[in-house]
Amino acid sequence: MNVNIWLYLIAAALTIYAIRAVPMTLLRKELKSPFLRSFLYYVPYVTLSVMTFPAILSATGDVRSAAAGFIAAVALAFFDGNLFRVACGACIAVYLFEMIL
């Protein structure tokens, strides 16, 4: 495995752990602020998305085919939500895009 992948995984794990653990250790009372609660809830998902998106665009030989797969995956996830179908649909979209162009 590439060393950069391990660095990305370690950075994501530390970020997620710090965001979840620091408030828990510093704050003894329950958080009442809806904004702060939602912020702490969504940070791990945003961190994962920010680290995954560049890898999606560089996964194929052409950024256009990667973008086609990404758009297909987003559309399938929005309408269906099944992870297996989303992954298969994105792969098929990339394949078809590269076959056409």
- Give the tens place of pLDDT for each residue, 3-62: 788 888 898 889 888 877 877 777 777 778 889 888 878 888 888 888 888 888 888 889
CA distances from 9 to 2, 12, 41, 46, 55 (A): 11, 5, 19, 14, 13
Q: Provide the residue type at 5 as one letter.
A: I
Q: What is the pLDDT of residue 80?
A: 85
Domain regions of the chain by residue span: 1-41, 58-101
Going by C-alpha positions, the residue among 55, 92, 86 that lies closest to residue 73 is 86
Per the structure block, which two tokens stand in for 53?
A: 């998106």
Q: What is the pTM of this model?
A: 0.61
Task: Decide if 63 contacts 30 (C-beta within 8 A).
Answer: no
Q: What is the pLDDT of residue 44?
A: 81
